[in-house]
């Protein structure tokens, strides 16, 4: 496994194009793996695959993170959206990830970040099949992650001295931010709408917090295979960092 970080040159039109289109970003990421087709991210359910996430830390500090079974080659991204004439080594950094994953142990505490597509399945009418429906409020989105934690091998750290007057979901060291429900447009595949475009609704939210490892193997699977849906659109990649302070 490998973990890669790439910084965008947000002054370049190519970077702005990629950052405005999850479809274009997905294609660009997959273009870094010559043995994979854009529609084939690798890995079956629960298995390692190509995951990616965009972190917008500031207007001119935007990073792409990629977790992948194979080492990517991102020269095309540097040429389109980076600094192609900068000195060697300034394009992207790839680190071996398997060693870090193997050192995860129960009881460890880490800071984490996850961008995800928090949805649940509901039935709108009796007799209908259930359909995935997005959670749209921060409280429900946080609740979605808390329901995932056991199967993903971690527990979100509980806040010290939580306010008993607030709902339980507020009593965790968890921040939900950068919520987005814009979705994106893509060509409509229906023959009768040839040349038209259709809207693909994708609700995303970014979670920052602290977690404690409860099941290292389950957490390794979650970090390698992703959490939740819409992985092709930049969701599901959780990263860990040492706890500061």
Q: Does residue 62 share a domain with residue 27?
A: yes
Give the span between the Cα atoms of 187 and 245, in whole angstroms: 48
Where residue 166 falls among pLDDT bands split at 50, 70, 90? Answer: low
The per-residue pLDDT for 165 is: 63
Q: Does residue 226 share a domain with residue 127?
A: yes
Identify which of 51, 54, 38 has the alpha carbon closest to the alpha carbon of residue 97.
51
Please tell me the total count of domains within the chain.
Answer: 2
> Residue 197's CB: how many other CB atoms inside 10 A?
11
Tell me the three-class secondary structure of 49-106, residue by residue.
Answer: CCEEEEEEEECCEEEEEEEECCCCCCHHHHHHHCCCCCCCCCCEEEEECHHHHHCCCC
Q: Does residue 124 share a domain with residue 24?
A: no
Q: Does residue 9 share a domain with residue 80?
A: yes
Calculate the alpha carbon distances from 19 to 81, 153, 165, 178, 187 in Å. Answer: 10, 31, 40, 14, 19
CA 61, 199, 42, 130 torsion-angle sign: positive
Looking up residue 132, the CATH number of its domain turns out to be 3.30.70.1210
CA 226, 65, 109, 230 torsion-angle sign: negative
Residues 27-48: tens digit of each pLDDT: 999 999 988 766 666 666 667 7
Where residue 123 falls among pLDDT bands split at 50, 70, 90? Answer: low
Average pLDDT rounded to a whole number, residues 118-146: 78
The per-residue pLDDT for 180 is: 81
172's tokens: 């965790």
The per-residue pLDDT for 3 is: 98
Q: Does residue 79 share a domain with residue 46?
A: yes
Q: Does residue 218 share a domain with residue 143?
A: yes
CB within 8 Å of 30: residues ≥ 6 apart:
36, 37, 38, 41, 50
Residues 218-228: tens digit of each pLDDT: 999 999 999 99
Segments forming the whole domain that contains residue 231: 109-241
- The answer to whether 76 touches 50, Cβ cutoff 8 Å, is no
Give the span between the Cα atoms of 53 and 233, in whole angstroms: 8
Which of 83, 102, 121 terminates a domain? The answer is 102
CA 203, 206, 209, 211 torsion-angle sign: positive
Q: What is the pTM of this model?
A: 0.86
Q: Does residue 219 share a domain with residue 115?
A: yes
Which of 102, 126, 146 terminates a domain? The answer is 102
Q: Does residue 158 share a domain with residue 58?
A: no
Looking up residue 58, the CATH number of its domain turns out to be 3.30.70.1200
- CB-count exposure of residue 129 (10 Å: 0-12, 13-18, 19+): exposed
């Amino acid at each position: 496994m490998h973990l890669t970080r790439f910084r965008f040159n947000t002054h370049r039109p190519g970077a702005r194009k990629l950052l405005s289109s999850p479809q274009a970003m997905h294609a660009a990421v997959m273009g870094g793996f010559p043995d994979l087709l854009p529609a084939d991210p690798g890995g079956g359910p629960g298995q390692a695959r190509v995951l990616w996430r965009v972190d917008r830390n500031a207007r001119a500090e935007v990073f792409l993170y990629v977790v992948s079974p194979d080492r990517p080659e991102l020269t095309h991204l540097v040429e389109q959206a980076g600094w192609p004439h900068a000195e060697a080594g300034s394009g992207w950094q790839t680190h071996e990830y398997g060693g870090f994953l193997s050192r995860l142990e129960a009881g460890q505490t880490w800071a984490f970040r996850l961008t995800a597509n928090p949805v649940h399945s509901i039935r709108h009418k009796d007799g209908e099949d259930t359909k995935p429906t997005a959670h749209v409020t921060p409280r429900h989105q946080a609740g979605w992650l808390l329901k995932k934690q056991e199967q993903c091998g971690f527990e979100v750290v509980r806040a010290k001295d939580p306010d008993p007057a607030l709902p339980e979901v507020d009593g965790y060291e968890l921040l939900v931010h950068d919520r987005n429900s814009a979705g994106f447009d893509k060509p409509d595949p229906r023959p009768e709408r040839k040349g038209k475009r259709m809207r693909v609704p994708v609700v995303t939210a970014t979670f920052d917090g602290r977690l404690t490892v409860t099941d290292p193997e389950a957490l390794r699977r979650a970090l390698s295979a992703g959490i939740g849906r819409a992985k092709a659109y930049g969701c599901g990649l959780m990263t860990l960092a040492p706890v500061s302070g």
